[in-house]
Amino acid sequence: MNKNNLKAQEGIIRGVDDLGRIVIPKELRVSLDICIGSYVSIQSVEGGILVTPVTVENSCNICGLKENEENTMQTFRERKICDKCLAQISKLHTK
C-alpha cells in the first residue's frame, strides 16, 4: 500500500515532503473549489491543523493576482478573473 494514500477514520493520511508540503487530494480540491492560485487559511487548532479555503478580496480566482490600475478584473459566475487570465482563456477557446 502506498504510504501517501493510507486511509484513516478521519480521512486520508498524507506524508509531508522534505520542504514541509502536503498535497491536498484532488477530490477535496474539486469539491471545495480550490484551484491553482487559490488561497487557504492554515490555523493551529487543539490537536491538529485546520486548512480552510479563503477568497482574497479583489484578486483573480485563477492566478491570485491582486486588482490594481494595470490589472483589472472581470466577474464571471460570481468569480473574479484578471484580464491576463481571461486573455489566455480566450486564446484556448479560439483554437
Give the amino acid at 24. I
pLDDT category, 45, cuts 50, 70, 90? very high
Structural domain tally of the chain? 1
Write the pLDDT tens digit of every residue in 85-95. Answer: 999 988 887 76
Q: Is the pLDDT of residue 9 over 90?
A: no
Whether 45 is covered by a domain: the verdict is yes
For residue 39, the enclosing domain spans 3-54
76 within a domain of the structure (yes/no): no
Beta bridge partners of 49: 44
Q: What is the DSSP string of 19-68?
A: TS--PPPHHHHHHTT--TT-EEEEEEETTEEEEEEE--TTB-TTT-PBP-
Is the pTM higher than 0.85? no
Q: Find cell 477514520 and name the residue.
A: 9
Cα end-to-end distance, the chain, whole Å: 42
Sequence-separated contacts (24+) of 13-21 with Cβ below 8 Å: none
Percent of the chain with pLDDT over 90: 23
**pLDDT, greater one: 68 or 49:** 49
Q: Could you tell me if 65 and 82 are in contact, meaning their C-beta atoms sit under 8 angstroms apart?
A: yes
pLDDT in tens, 56-84: 778 888 887 888 878 889 988 888 899 98
For residues 51 and 68, the model is more confident at 51
CATH number of the domain encompassing residue 22:
2.10.260.10
Average pLDDT over residues 10-34: 89
